[in-house]
Amino acid sequence: MGSFLNFAWRNIIDSRTPSQVAFARRIAPGRKFANLQLKQCRYGWMLFDGPYIGKCFELYGEYSESEVAMMRRFVGAGDNVIDVGANIGDLTLPLAQMVGESGSIHAVESNAEVFNVLCANLAINGVRNVRPVSAYLASPAERAPAATESLFVSERWAPPTVALDDLGLEHCRLLKVDVDGKEVDILRSGARLIERARPVLYVENDVRERSSALLRHMAELEYDLYWHSAPIYSPDNFFGNPDNFWMPEMIFSAMVLGLPRESGLTAEDLPKVRSFDEWWNLSSP
């Protein structure tokens, strides 16, 4: 199949102008390794697969630059960041470049197969300021779910259950959490770290029945909360691809930004969370 695809792309390329040739080569299928493709992307080489993150790297050479831009507002050289739900490193790699060699990233991923790809992406790019952590973050009393219960773990390898507080971090500039509805559990497992370090919180909130509890918990930690509906496609993408694969639907990462009230930080361009019962209005910025 790989040989056929390469043959087909060569024939398409041969009939186009030089600029069309360059674009076609960028969005052509990458080199295959098992079920993974490999491509040179915005922040380095990426091994990838999957319908959303993988498709973004295949067609655009990047994933959710709107999230990257939001985190860049608060993260700089020398900072320490925790990326919970790091997946294959789609946001870990840009964060690693933001903090530089003097900073650090703890990238936590609980699915063993996905964790292996995360480590591969760090290795092939020579990334040294990221500590990959294979663990299921929760309170010590909670066990990691079985593979039949959650995509967070693989069928063969169960991760250890670790509290965020047990990572041994004294400082944290930003805590990003994307764990499909388990966000409040992660925050509770890091209560001491959050109280001590007062990081910016950047947390997914896309499970409506759990939204109110998450927003309430973040507010009780003395954070000002803002809605950030972050499109995963950007017209100004690395490959220069003008076509949104998901149109007419728009795919968003449903994120909530939490800023410590005592910090003086604001996000005036984002709609503020006014009620724990609010839900997404994607017509907002």
Tens digits of residue pLDDT in 51-71: 999 999 999 999 999 999 999
User: At CA 173, angle to CA 168 and CA 176, rounded to 5?
Assistant: 85
Residues 245 and 268: their CA atoms lie apart, in Å, by 31
Question: In this model, does residue 283 exceed pLDDT 60?
Answer: no
Span 256-277, pLDDT tens digits:
999 999 999 999 999 999 999 9
Choose among 62, 68, 89, 94: nearest CA to 237. Answer: 62
85 Cβ contact list (under 8 Å, min separation 6): 108, 109, 176, 177, 178, 179, 180, 204
Nearest 5°: the CA angle 8, 250, 206 is 120
Give the start-to-end residue ranges of the domains of the chain: 34-263
Q: Over range 58-85, report the average pLDDT.
A: 98
Residue type, 261: R
Query: CB 215: neighbour CB atoms within 10 A?
Result: 23
Backbone angles phi, psi at 124, to 5 degrees: -70, -15
The tens digit of pLDDT for each residue in 119-148 reads 999 999 999 999 999 999 987 666 655 544
Residue-wise pLDDT for 172-227, tens only, equals 999 999 998 899 999 999 999 999 999 999 999 999 999 999 999 999 999 999 99
Alpha-carbon distance 90 to 82, whole Å? Answer: 14
**Homologous superfamily of 34-263 in CATH?**
Vaccinia Virus protein VP39 (3.40.50.150)
Peptide bond into 159 cis (omega under 30): no
